[in-house]
Structures are given as C-alpha cells and as structure tokens.
Structure 1
C-alpha cells in the first residue's frame, strides 16, 4: 500500500470512525478488497483499533479508531504528503509559466527586421 493511501484512509477514519469498509472504499474510490487489505494493514501496525457497537437497527457494527501511534503516524505521513504536494505545486508553477510564455510568444506579432 502506498503512503498516500494510508494517509487518505487514516484521514477518513479519523473524521468518520463509524464508516463501513464499503463507505470507505466508495469515498476513496478504491475496491472493497483493497480497502479491507489496507485497513487490516493499519490494524496490524497498531495504528487503528476496532471496536464493536450496536447500530439502531440492532446489528453489530464497528468503529475504527486511530491509536496514539496512529495519530503520530498520520502526523508524520501528513508532513511528508504536504512536502511532496508543495514540490509538485512548485514544479507545476514553473511548467505553467513556460507554457504561458510559449503561448504568448507564438501569438505575438513580430516585426520584420530592418535590412542592413
């Protein structure tokens, strides 16, 4: 599993601890199998714990709670994620400036040079 996916799963579970794996898969745009694999990996790492609770329709459900280690891991992953996204943003700004200059240069009317 990629670190970006771990970040997205931890972020979603922190905000929606009562989300089902099906809800999580839909929110992240990944398969239910991938979601299950990722959630199990986070549980095995000790970053997420599972608690049973009863829903109003009398069925058992689960709450996915970030452990203190999970909160620390999310903070580290978030810092790396932000650093990577800032670098991507800076690279995009350079590329946009180059493309903008190319477009302006291609459309500007150039005067013929004076013969010497």
Structure 2
C-alpha cells in the first residue's frame, strides 16, 4: 500500500472514527474496494481497530480507531509524507523558476520565424481565404 494512501486513511479515521468506507473512498479518491483492502491490511497489522456499532439509521456499521501502534505509525508516516511534499514543492518551485527564465529569454530574443503568426497556444493567426 502506498504511503500517501495509508497517510490519508489514517488521517480520515483519526478525524472521524465513524466514517464509512464509501465516505473514505470519496475523501481519499480511491475505489471502495481498495479502501476495504487497505483497511483490512491496517487492521491485520494492528494499526486500526474496527468495532461494530449501530449507527443512527439502525444499520450495522464500523467504528474505526487508531491503536497506539497505529498512532505511532501515523506519526512516522506524517514526517515522511511531509518531507516528500516539501521535496516535491522544492522541485516544482525550481521548475517554475526555469520556466520563467525560459519565457524571459524568449521575450528578450524577440519573435523568430517559428513564432511569427502564432498565438501563445501555438495556433496560427492566419485567416482562411474566403472566395
């Protein structure tokens, strides 16, 4: 299971222990089947405890709770996830700076043969001949 998925499941379960698998799938953007698979794996690892309860609609549902081991794993995962996101931010920031330099460089050079008659989207500005 990818760490990003595990992190989001931990976060949602900790924030809302009565969350349904369908709600969890919607909030995490993964399929219901994958949510079920991941929850079972996290229960089997001892990170989450699932308990049956009757919800307000008189239906049987599960209450999900992070175990002490799950809380510890979530803390470690949060640090790794934050580092990953910060690295991603730095990469994107550097790429944006390179693109800005490229755009400024192309403006300084002025229009060339390839850019004459082109819009920024690459489409030609030429009009069709009408007879």
TM-score relative to the length of structure 2: 0.79
Q: After TM superposition, which residue ranges in structure 1, 4 or more long, deviate above 3 angstroms?
A: none
Matches within 5 A, 1:64-83: 64-83=64-83
Q: Which residue of 2 aligns with 1:49?
A: 49
Alpha-carbon offset, residue 58 of structure 1: 2.1
Aligned to 2:120: none
Task: Return the alpha-carbon distance in structure 2 between the equivalents of residues 58 and 34 of structure 1.
Answer: 26
Gaps of 5+ in 2: 111-131
Q: Distance in 1 between matches of 2:4 and 2:109?
A: 46
Q: More helix by proportion, 1 or 2?
A: 1
Take 1:12 and 1:58, find their aligned partners in 2: how far apart are those partners?
Answer: 23
Give TM-score, length-normalised by structure 1.
0.89
CA offset at residue 98 of structure 1? 0.7
Q: Deviations over 1:47-102 (max 9, x none)?
A: 00011222223222211000011010000001001111111111111111111011
Q: Deviation of residue 109 (structure 1)?
A: 5.3
Which whole-Å CA distance do the structure 2 matches of 1:106 and 1:2 have between them?
A: 41
In the alignment, structure 1 segments of 5+ residues that lack a partner are 111-116
Shift of 1:29: 1.3
Cα distance in structure 2, aligned partners of 1:83 and 1:57: 41
Residue 86 of structure 2 corresponds to 86
RMSD: 1.2
Q: Which residue of 2 aligns with 1:19?
A: 19
SS in 2 for 1:108: helix
- Distance in 1 (CA, whole Å) between partners of 2:10 and 2:59 is 25
